[in-house]
Amino acid sequence: MFSGAQVSLYAMSDDFVGIILGAIKSLDPWRDRLRLETDSLSTLMVGPPEVLFPAMRDLFCAAARSGVHTTMHATVSRGCPGEPDDPMCTPAAAASRELSLADRMAAGRDAVAAAPFQDQDIAAQISLYPLGVGHHMDEIYGCIEFLKNSGTFARSKNFCTALRGDAGPVFETFGKAFTGFGSDTGHLAMDVTVSANSPSDR
Amino acid sequence: MFSGAQVSLYAMSDDFVGIILGAIKSLDPWRDRLRLETDSLSTLMVGPPEVLFPAMRDLFCAAARSGVHTTMHATVSRGCPGEPDDPMCTPAAAASRELSLADRMAAGRDAVAAAPFQDQDIAAQISLYPLGVGHHMDEIYGCIEFLKNSGTFARSKNFCTALRGDAGPVFETFGKAFTGFGSDTGHLAMDVTVSANSPSDR
């Protein structure tokens, strides 16, 4: 398995460089379980899902606490046949496909309900792409049903689903969507956008 | 067919509201061929590919001409089985699947070479997701080969391909990747990030 994300963090401020460089320190506790590579467009994070999503959460919250309108986009992927297997990416516990879809959705909902709050309200949207399977819409509809019952659902949109809530449960929702749907060892991509302190929400 | 994008425009400036509201005027020439809906996370643009990509290009260039570090993310989709057919989205001329992959790549390369320059240098990255097909990697590898020979290729990255050049050819490359690969009437999603005036590039 190979899993990771290309993550871009944006701060709508003249001091965006300072805010972003300050936020990157929040990745320190995760560094021994992640491989990081930065260029001018994004930072590659390679690691297992249970590290990727909390690390992205901490990075985003650190920037959002500046009070400035902050957004983050991530292209997240697992099981791409074009990438090498990497032992670093082996999940601690994969979501079992022996459970029914209903039981997987319930387990996801329980995990989201138990996620520690981060005291940071965020808005988000998520698109899921299960690749290399013929009945991809069944998995997408299953995921949308999970999102609607996750406790973080905001509204349906074209091409994505909008979420809203504290960063803890919302990033836990991302993680459960990423591991709970599509083939458990197959190729799956996910596209997430996160926003805090938007003047449109005031 | 239903095609469109969720587009988010970001300006790293205390005056991000002014820059973004100013740039939105650049969509005026396209409004009669697009349906637009804006919320705090993104603007939905619904329309055919030959309108979507030039409209996104004009929107991004208008913001980038502020000189401020500006980025844009778009989740682009066509043929999603969950969306209604919309006559507004019918492409003027679909890329013919009667052509061989090599001929489709050559036609794409010619179109990129003929794209009018916009006098705006940009960096970009692109990921393509052909959905509901078993041999999705063949289409992805075909698209990557096209990108490498497009004249706008910058480098290969994990989960995406980086492009660089004038906004005219780069957005034309997006359009040809979107229409030239995957099933011609099937479900395909694309994830693009664009950046201008980054201090990392100076």
**Residues in a beta bridge with A46:** A4, A35
CB pairs under 8 A between A and B: 144
Q: Mean pLDDT across the stretch A76-102?
A: 77
Q: Which residues contact B35 (CB under 8 A, 6 or more apart)?
A: B4, B44, B45, B46, B47, B88
Helix intervals (H) in chain B? 16-24, 49-64, 101-114, 136-148, 167-180
For A101-137, write each residue's pLDDT tens digit.
Answer: 788 888 899 999 999 999 999 999 999 998 877 777 8
Q: Does B179 touch chain A (CB under 8 A)?
A: no
What one-character DSSP code corresponds to residue B104? H
Residues of A in contact with B86 (CB under 8 A): none
To the nearest whole angstrom, how far is the Cα of A147 from the nearest Cα of chain B? 16
Q: Which of B178, B75, B56, B31 is nearest to B122 (CA)?
A: B56
Whole-angstrom distance, CA of residue B22 vs CA of residue B34: 19
Residue of B nearest to A125 (CA): B41
Residue of A nearest to B124 (CA): A41
For B49-90, write each residue's pLDDT tens digit.
Answer: 999 999 999 999 999 999 999 999 999 999 887 777 778 887
Q: How confident is the model at residue A26 (pLDDT cuts 50, 70, 90)?
A: very high
Q: Which of A13, A124, A10 is nearest to A68 (CA)?
A: A13
To the nearest whole angstrom, how far is the Cα of B109 from the nearest Cα of chain A? 24
What is the full per-residue pLDDT of chain B (202 aa) written as tens digits? 889 999 999 999 999 999 999 999 999 999 999 999 999 999 999 999 999 999 999 999 999 999 999 999 999 999 887 777 778 887 776 556 677 778 888 889 999 999 999 999 999 999 999 887 777 788 888 899 999 999 999 999 999 999 999 999 999 999 999 998 887 778 899 999 999 999 987 6
- Counted domains in chain A: 1
pLDDT at residue B16, rounded to an integer: 97
To the nearest whole angstrom, how far is the Cα of A195 from the nearest Cα of chain B? 7
Whole-angstrom distance, CA of residue A34 vs CA of residue A201: 33
- Contact flag A193-B157 (C-beta cutoff 8 Å): no
Structure tokens at B153: 């290729």
pLDDT at residue A23, rounded to an integer: 96
pLDDT at residue A137, rounded to an integer: 81
Q: Mean pLDDT across the stretch A23-40?
A: 95
**Residues in a beta bridge with A8:** A73
Whether A91 and A53 have beta carbons less than 8 Å apart is answered as no
Q: Which of A145, A144, A142, A169 is nearest to A53 (CA)?
A: A169
Whole-angstrom distance, CA of residue B123 vs CA of residue B157: 13
The average confidence (pLDDT) of chain A is 91
- Percent of chain A whose pLDDT exceeds 90: 72
Whole-angstrom distance, CA of residue B169 vs CA of residue B194: 13
pLDDT at A190 over 80: yes
Q: Which of A14, A42, A81 sits opposite B137 (nearest CB)?
A: A81
Whole-angstrom distance, CA of residue B151 vs CA of residue B164: 9
Structure tokens at B103: 């001929």
Q: Does A14 touch chain B (CB under 8 A)?
A: yes
Q: How many Cβ atoms are within 10 Å of A38's Cβ, its own excluded? A: 12
Whole-angstrom distance, CA of residue B77 vs CA of residue A140: 14
pLDDT at residue A96, rounded to an integer: 63
Q: Does A40 touch chain B (CB under 8 A)?
A: yes
State the DSSP H helix or E strand holding residue B198, giving kind and residue range, or none if neither: none
Residues of B in contact with A158 (CB under 8 A): 4, 6, 44, 46, 77, 83
Instruction: Please report the DSSP string for A116-173 in residue order.
Output: PP-S-EEEEEEEEEE-S-TTHHHHHHHHHHHHHTSS-EEEEETTEEEEEEEHHHHHHH
* A contact residues 69-98, partner B, Cβ 8 Å cutoff: 69, 71, 73, 75, 77, 80-83
To the nearest whole angstrom, how far is the Cα of B7 from the nearest Cα of chain A? 11
Residues of B in contact with A8 (CB under 8 A): 71, 73, 193
Q: Which of B52, B78, B55, B66 is nearest to B22 (CA)?
A: B66
To the nearest whole angstrom, how far is the Cα of B53 from the nearest Cα of chain A? 17
Q: How confident is the model at residue A161 (pLDDT cuts 50, 70, 90)?
A: very high
pLDDT at A95 over 70: no
pLDDT at residue B95, rounded to an integer: 58
pLDDT at A151 over 90: yes
Whole-angstrom distance, CA of residue B75 vs CA of residue B55: 14
Whole-angstrom distance, CA of residue B196 vs CA of residue B72: 9
The residue segments making up the domain with residue A47 are 3-201
Looking from the CA of A20 toward its CB, the CA atoms found within 13 Å total 21
Identify the CATH number of the domain in which residue B53 sits: 3.30.70.930
Whole-angstrom distance, CA of residue B135 vs CA of residue B126: 20
Residues of A in contact with B6 (CB under 8 A): 125, 157-160
Sheet with strand B160-166: strands edge to edge: B35-38, B43-46, B3-11, B70-78, B188-196, B121-130, B160-166, B153-157
ipTM above 0.90, yes or no: yes
- Contact flag B73-A132 (C-beta cutoff 8 Å): no
State the burial class of residue B181 (Cβ atoms within 10 Å of its Cβ: 0-12, 13-18, 19+).
buried
Q: Which residues contact A202 (CB under 8 A, 6 or more apart)?
A: none
